Amino acid sequence: MRTLFDKTMINKIELKNRFIRSSTWENMADEKGHLTDKLFKVYKDLAKGQVGLILTGYAFIMQNEQPNPGMMGIYNDSFIDEYKKLTDMVHSYGSKIVLQIAYGGTQTKYNTDKRIIWGPSAVPEMETGVVAKEMSKKDIKALIKAFGDAAARAKASGFDGVQIHAAHGYLLSQFLNPYHNQRNDEYGGRIENRARIIFEVYDEIRRRVGNDYAVLIKINCQDFVEKGLTFKESMYVCKELDKKGIDAIEVSGGTWAAKELGFSRPNINSPDKEAYFKSYAAQIAKEIKAPVILVGGLRSIETMECILAETAIDYFALSRPLIAEPDLIKRWYGWDRTKAKCVSCNRCRTSEGTMCFFKR
């Protein structure tokens, strides 16, 4: 029988449990995306807290494209040495760490008047109203190369893998979304075309890092907005990535425009409100060989044990609970099975960075 504390493998990464810290924007890096002591401590606390795999906050891959302040960067080689110190520290506590890499796009209000922001088509973003510059094929090639460069730097920095951010309404997610993607070329129209850029990003990363390096992806099960990505389309993308050899798929959902159906839902105060993407992730896990990671509203160990027993889902990713309690997994290891203290108030984003409102 599978347990939450099994040792497992994702490609060549040996994990000591099935708990994953889902990528979280900490808002603690410096203005150029470099590590600070404050941010370093966040990862040290997670590693000490016995999280099996830490997914970092999203790191911007092009210097002129920073969708939020205080986020990590990976756009040139200046990051490699400092990230080596980070990965060495995490490994010293027996945890593993994967760098999430992303291009944000128009789902932002940060410095939008000072930079050109790419998008599949020149349409207003559903929530922010920011209009993208429609990407040329030359731009698409440049973006694909930037993802490959970022992955190569991550490998050189000692990260155990990379995760492609293709969820939550950021650029790659927008390519999958028919409202944002109104192109008439080979990158628009049918889902096979809308997903093409993601497949090409994956192929470039795999070419740069090799088959023995973990490449993961985060994707929406659906967008939960009008004219958005559907579950059927998401399933197609997951199956194609599985054929290509993706090492794990984290199943999330929604965008900021999805409001109460988004990825960070409030008031998760009873078991029936937990694991709100479970049914989608379970169906995907049935259809593919790659491990599936479930994220979204996970609060109690009993809920996760039940899902592990009843579905083919392999891993469980938490964000807000680990903001409130970075030592949560260590507590569960010690047989204190009380559910996470997080009350899903969504007040984590403070002026001092992303941290529990009640612990400031």
What are the helix (H) ranges across 107-230? Answer: 137-156, 171-176, 191-194, 196-209
The mean of the pLDDT values for the chain is 95
Whole-angstrom CA distances from 134 to 140, 175, 298 are 10, 11, 37
pLDDT score recorded for residue 265: 87
Report the CATH architecture of 8-359: Alpha-Beta Barrel (3.20)
pLDDT score recorded for residue 160: 98
Strands (E), 183-253: 214-220, 248-252
Residues of the chain with pLDDT under 50: none
pLDDT score recorded for residue 360: 61
What DSSP state is assigned to residue 94?
Answer: T
Q: Can you give the residue ranges of every domain in the chain?
A: 8-359
Measured distance CA(107)–CA(223) in Å, rounded? 14
pLDDT score recorded for residue 358: 78
Q: Is the pTM of this model over 0.85?
A: yes
pLDDT score recorded for residue 292: 98
Structure tokens at 32: 């150029």
Whole-angstrom CA distances from 55 to 135, 257, 306 are 29, 24, 24
pLDDT score recorded for residue 222: 97
Helix-strand-coil percent breakdown of the chain, rounded to 5? Answer: 35, 15, 45
